[in-house]
Amino acid sequence: MSIPLGDRRVQRHAPIREQVAAILRDAIVNMELRPGQVLVERELCEMTSASRPSVREALRQLESEGLVESRNGRGTVVAAPTREQAEHLYEVRAELEGMAAELFAERADEQQRAELRAAFGSVEESALRDGRAMLAAKDRLYRVLIAGAGNPILSEMLGGLQRRVTQLRALTLTSPGRPTESLLEIRAIMAAIEDRDPAAARAAAIVHVEQAARTALTFADAASPLLPH
C-alpha cells in the first residue's frame, strides 16, 4: 500500500566544485565579475561558502572553458579577450552556427520546428520592447536551434563560444537600429529552415553572426583588452 514515488528521486546533489563553477560562470556571464578582475580565492570561498580546494577545482574548469586565465603565480583573472581574440571567436562561431542551422534544416523533426517557431515568436515580440528581454529570447532560440542540430559535441562547443562572447553581446544591443537588423537576419534563417533549404540556412546564419560581430567589434579598440575595467 505504498504511495507511488514517481519522480521524487532526490536529484543527487551536484558536487560542490560544480556548483561553485556554475555560480562563477553565471557571475562572469552576467558581468558581476568584470573582465580583467582578479579572483581572490579566499573571497570566492566566502562568496560560495566552499573550501579552497573546491574553489580551485572550479577555477581549473573555468580555465579550460576560456572564461578565466591563470597568470602563473599571480592568481586568476576573468578573461578579457583582445579585439583580435574576439574576431577569432566570432569567426569560429559563425562557422559552427552555420553548421547548426544547416543541420537543423536537414534533420529537425516537426516538434523541434514548432519549438523553434515559438522561440522566434518570443524574439519578435520582445524585439521592439526591451533589449534585455530580446537577448534572453534569442538565447532560447539559439538553444532550440542548436539542440535540433542533433550533435551534442557541436552544442557543447557553441555553448562555450557563446559564453565567451557574452560580454560583447551586451554591447551589441546598445547600437541603435541593431535589434531590427538582427531580427531581419534571424527571419532569413527561419525562412530557409521552413523551406528546408540547408545551404540557405547556413548562409543566413553566417551572415547573422558576421553582422553581430561587426557591430560588437565596432565598440572595441584594436590592441588593448576589451572592457579593461
CA–centroid distance for 198 within its chain: 23
Question: What is the nearest approach in angstroms of a copy of itself to the Cβ of residue 177?
Answer: 29
Window 160 to 199, contacts with a copy of itself (CB under 8 A):
161
By CB under 8 A, tell whether 1 contacts a copy of itself.
Answer: no
Q: Shortest Cβ distance from residue 135 to a copy of itself (Å)?
A: 23
Of positions 63, 181, 197, 210, contacts a copy of itself by CB under 8 A: 63
Report what 40 binds from a copy of itself, DNA, none; CB cut-off 5-8 Å by kind: DNA
Amino acid, single-letter form, for residue 92: V
Neighbours of 213 (CB within 10 A): 20
Among 70, 85, 112, 151, binds DNA (CB under 7 A): 70
Q: Is 72 in the site for a copy of itself (CB under 8 A)?
A: yes
- Say whether residue 47 binds DNA (CB under 7 A): no
* Stretch near a copy of itself under the rule CB under 8 A, chosen from 32-40, 51-59, 139-147, 177-185: 51-59
Question: Is the Cβ of residue 56 or residue 140 nearer to a copy of itself in the bound state?
Answer: 56
Residue 76 touches which of DNA, a copy of itself, none (Cβ within 5-8 Å per kind): DNA
Query: Is residue 76 close enough to count as binding DNA by CB under 7 A?
Result: yes
Positions in the binding site for a copy of itself (CB under 8 A)? 12, 14-15, 17, 53, 56-58, 60-61, 63-65, 70, 72-73, 85, 88-89, 91-92, 95-96, 99, 151-154, 157, 161
